[in-house]
Amino acid sequence: MNGWRWLKGYLRAYSGASITKKAIAIYIVVVLVPGCLLFLLYFQQTSGIIEREMSDSMLQTLNQAEYNISNGLDNVASVSDSVIANQGIAQYLSGSAKPAYEQFEDFQELEKLLVSLERNRGIHRIRLFVDPRLTYSREDIHFFSLHDLDREAAWYRNMISRNGGNYWRGTYLQPYLGESDAKVISAVRMLHDPLHYESVIGVLSIDVKVSMIQEILSRVSLSSSQEVFVVDDDRRLVSHQDAARLGQPSDLTAAQMEQLAKSKEGSFRDDQGTTSFLYRRIPNTDWSIVAKLPTSELSGKSVVLTKVSAVLLLGIGSIVFIFFLVLAFAAAAESLAKRVRDMNRTLKAEGSAHFDGSLPKPKGDLRQLESAISRMVQTVHDLTAESYRSKLHERDAQLKALQAQVDPHFLYNTLDSMNWMAIRRGADEISDLIEALSTYFRLSLNKGSDVVTLAEELQLIRSYMHIHNTRDDSGIELFCEVEETLLSCRLPKLTLQPIVENAVLHGIHMKRPKRGTIDISAKLEGHWLTIEIRDNGVGMTPERLAQLLEPPSPDNKVESYGLYNVHERLRLFSRDNGAGVTLTSKPGSGTNVLLKIKISSN
């Protein structure tokens, strides 16, 4: 009842109000109230949808970064698997009871395997922690003792729980012998003895510089105030734009870390709602990529679109209001015209006596409303990941990796011969042999230099042949025909020795009696130094000749590896594929070895 009376009173007040007040009332009832209600409903329905679309778009960008990181980690995991798949790895690492020279041979094979695998893209260093009883467990470049590992560290316990599977160790500072320390991540795993699986014979660690992940994250662009990082399940930063924070605890709370572990990807906000987090788990690790950014930037597009919608609603409401305002003016004009007509009729019929002299005047005023509409447009561009380009390895590093090694049996046999000579003969011959051996050692070591002159290399060969003839009472004659101007030419160390040794052991010693000649000659043809080594040994078949310069396999003989080694070293030294070794031989006719070396113009 009271409501009805209030409504009737309002209608009476409205009927007697001016046009301005009526227009305001119409605007409130027809435009403002419905517009606010529609705006509230629209905002509630669309803001959540737009924010989810923005989150999904940003998650797609994180997915691309995760894909690139996973590819890099998978490449490293494949290298780790290839080490495990090597059939000889378990035999080498469980060989602590072997003699020292057999352990040295195992070490050479293992080092050759690890060096070749280190050439894979992204790998910085491969380290193998082995039984401390092995002679090479203190090599400290690729091989370390198992006792060097911190068995109380969290990463070690996590690795043990994987039972031989790969575990990714988070960022840490690793010192390296002969180079500066580096912050790395590592794929670590236990190596079991296949015959006694409960026994651990080694731990494999493949180190990758953390800059690989940072380069990928630097290309992620979500907002101007973003903070993108990688964190492990122990809340420690694996990758961050601030290098000083690597390996340190992140700012995430325990509750937020639980949120990361709930699903493969998602988003959440902090307790105040001012900061939003988007995350994506990295498969086969306990790491997550996290993007931290202000919520206002995440919902910025929603706010913009909502403002545009509000302007549109108000514009439509204004049009409706103007329409009703025109109707009101039309009604007022019609009322005024009716009153004017009534006054005219009264004046004509009854005259001015019955007219009080006052003219009816319209009440209120007219106002024209103008509005301007502006629109804001925001476009989000997704970034595409750039493809990786492979990098060339430094030739000097390859050259050093291919350096030939002196056969230890030769040194052992020589020392043994010296011992027996001391027993059988006088000291003069022993002194002569020791002097030749000292010369051999001095020239072969050459103070650590990898490059020698031709004169030094020939002196090394003479010392070698003198020792060999004295030791075996052989009748092998060495003839060197080299012009004095060529003696200063430079070439890789131990280039001639493996070839002369092959000529002695696999050529002349196969004859009966063990006697023969070795001729060495050299000449200069333009920028090329050619050295020819001829022997009158037993020679070899074409099939054997074709095998000598092929890349060595585990079952290849030592002489094949030596010739291939010399061939590759000459090509790297000359930086020209035309350099290298050429062989000619026939059974019973000896062997000719031609070396071709490019001489620098400097």
Q: Quote the CA–CA distance of 399 and 450 in Å, as a whole number.
A: 9
| Residue (of 467, 476, 453) closest to 531 by Cα position | 453
Which segment, 2-11, 47-56, 308-317, 468-477, is predicted with the most confidence on average?
A: 468-477
Residue listed under structure tokens 């690890």: 114
Tokens of 182: 């580096």
Counting the structural domains of the chain, the total is 2
| Range 62-71 average pLDDT | 89
Mean pLDDT of the residues in the chain:
77
Tokens of 417: 């011969």
Q: Per-residue pLDDT for 560 more than 90?
A: no
Q: Per-residue pLDDT for 602 more than 70?
A: no
79-93, 258-272, 298-312, 409-423: which has the minimum mean pLDDT? 409-423
Q: Are 501 and 464 in contact (CB under 8 A)?
A: yes
Q: Where are the alpha helices (DSSP H) in 86-187?
A: 89-93, 100-117, 154-161
Tokens of 394: 């430094």
CB atoms inside a 10 Å sphere around CB 39: 16
Note the pLDDT of residue 406: 41
Which segment, 142-156, 260-274, 339-353, 546-560, is predicted with the most confidence on average?
A: 142-156
| Range 325-353 average pLDDT | 64
Q: Per-residue pLDDT for 176 more than 50?
A: yes
Question: What is the CATH classification number for the domain harbouring 205?
Answer: 3.30.450.20
| Range 355-381 average pLDDT | 45
Q: Per-residue pLDDT for 579 more than 60?
A: yes
Q: Quote the CA–CA distance of 267 and 261 in Å, as a whole number.
A: 12
Residue listed under structure tokens 């998602």: 266
2-11, 153-162, 363-372: which has the minimum mean pLDDT? 363-372
| Range 378-389 average pLDDT | 48
Which segment, 214-223, 319-328, 583-592, is predicted with the most confidence on average?
A: 583-592
Q: Are 213 and 238 in contact (CB under 8 A)?
A: yes
| Range 56-76 average pLDDT | 87
Asked if residue 346 is part of any domain, the answer here is no
Domain limits at 67? 55-296
Note the pLDDT of residue 171: 92
41-50, 83-92, 105-114: which has the minimum mean pLDDT? 41-50
> What are the φ and ψ backbone dihedral angles of 427, each rounded to 5 degrees?
-75, -15
* DSSP SS3 for 196: strand
Q: Quote the CA–CA distance of 578 and 528 in Å, as a whole number.
A: 10
Cα angle for residues 86, 88, 94 (degrees, 5° grid): 125
Q: How confident is the model at residue 192 (pLDDT cuts 50, 70, 90)?
A: confident
Asked if residue 387 is part of any domain, the answer here is no
Q: How confident is the model at residue 433 (pLDDT cuts 50, 70, 90)?
A: low
Q: Are 473 and 479 in contact (CB under 8 A)?
A: no
Q: What is the pLDDT of residues 349-366, one digit of tens each?
A: 655 445 444 444 444 444
Report the amino acid identity of residue 576: D
| Residue (of 184, 178, 206, 211) closest to 119 by Cα position | 206
**Domain stop point among 273, 296, 319:** 296
Note the pLDDT of residue 262: 84
Note the pLDDT of residue 460: 87
Note the pLDDT of residue 309: 64
Give the H/E segment covering residue 399. helix 395-401
Q: Are 602 and 540 in contact (CB under 8 A)?
A: no
* DSSP SS3 for 207: strand
Q: Per-residue pLDDT for 140 more than 50?
A: yes
172-181, 221-230, 267-276, 559-568: which has the minimum mean pLDDT? 559-568
Q: Quote the CA–CA distance of 321 and 31 in Å, as a whole number.
A: 7
Which segment, 197-201, 294-298, 391-395, is predicted with the most confidence on average?
A: 197-201
Asked if residue 576 is part of any domain, the answer here is yes
Q: Is the pTM of this model over 0.85?
A: no
| Range 196-216 average pLDDT | 89
Q: What is the pLDDT of residues 258-291, one digit of tens each?
A: 888 888 888 888 888 888 888 999 998 989 999 9
Tokens of 488: 């200063």
- Greater pLDDT, 401 or 127: 127
Task: Classify 182 in phi/psi space as left (phi over 0), alpha (psi -120 to 50) or beta.
Answer: beta
Tokens of 42: 């629209």
Note the pLDDT of residue 405: 41
Q: Give the 3-state secondary structure percentages of the chain, helix then strand then coil, rounded to 5.
A: 50, 20, 30
Give the H/E segment covering residue 276. strand 275-281
**Domain stop point among 271, 296, 321:** 296
Q: Per-residue pLDDT for 431 more than 90?
A: no
Q: Quote the CA–CA distance of 232 and 247 in Å, as a whole number.
A: 10
Q: Are 430 and 421 in contact (CB under 8 A)?
A: yes
| Residue (of 237, 249, 242, 245) closest to 289 by Cα position | 237
CB atoms inside a 10 Å sphere around CB 505: 16
Q: Quote the CA–CA distance of 476 and 482 in Å, as a whole number.
A: 19
For the sheet with 591-598, list strands across it: 475-481, 515-525, 528-535, 591-598, 580-585
Asked if residue 303 is part of any domain, the answer here is no
**Domain stop point among 296, 311, 335:** 296
Asked if residue 28 is part of any domain, the answer here is no
Asked if residue 355 is part of any domain, the answer here is no
Report the amino acid identity of residue 517: T
pLDDT-above-90 percentage for the chain: 25
Note the pLDDT of residue 470: 79
Note the pLDDT of residue 385: 47
Q: Quote the CA–CA distance of 23 and 34 in Å, as a whole number.
A: 16
CB atoms inside a 10 Å sphere around CB 180: 6
Q: Which is it for the CA torsion 477, 481, 482, 483, positive or negative?
A: positive
Tokens of 309: 């919608």
28-42, 348-362, 567-581: which has the minimum mean pLDDT? 348-362
Asked if residue 328 is part of any domain, the answer here is no
Q: How confident is the model at residue 173 (pLDDT cuts 50, 70, 90)?
A: very high
Question: What is the CATH classification number for the domain harbouring 564?
Answer: 3.30.565.10
Asked if residue 325 is part of any domain, the answer here is no
Report the number of secondary-structure helices (H) and strands (E) in the chain.
17, 17
> What are the φ and ψ backbone dihedral angles of 358, each rounded to 5 degrees?
-100, 135
Note the pLDDT of residue 593: 93
Largest CA distance in the chain: 171
CA distances from 213 to 118, 313, 431 (A): 18, 48, 62
